[in-house]
Amino acid sequence: MAEKKETAKSAPAYTKAQILAAEKYSNRRDLLGAILKDQEYTLDQVDAEIEKFRKGKVK
């Protein structure tokens, strides 16, 4: 019998609207609404975008 090789499953991706509706990010909705583009993100990517924004320099 041939065995199926499992490929590494990537983390699920969510749309901007789904992320804004998530309870996890309820205290950051305004920030996320401003910095996220209309595309799909994983939760790790969302956390990275938040950190990138927080560590940015003020002009």
pTM for the model stands at: 0.77
Q: Rounded to whole angstroms, how far apart are CA atoms 32 and 28?
A: 6
- Which residues have C-beta within 8 Å of that of residue 31, sequence separation ≥ 6? 50, 53
pLDDT of residue 27 exceeding 80, the answer is yes
Higher pLDDT residue, 22 or 6?
A: 22
Q: Please report which confidence band the pLDDT of residue 5 belongs to, taking 50, 70 and 90 as the band edges.
A: very low
pLDDT of res. 41: 97
Q: Which of 36, 44, 43, 6 is nearest to 22 (CA)?
A: 43
From CA 6, how far away is CA 37, in angstroms rounded? 32
CA distance 16 to 1: 43
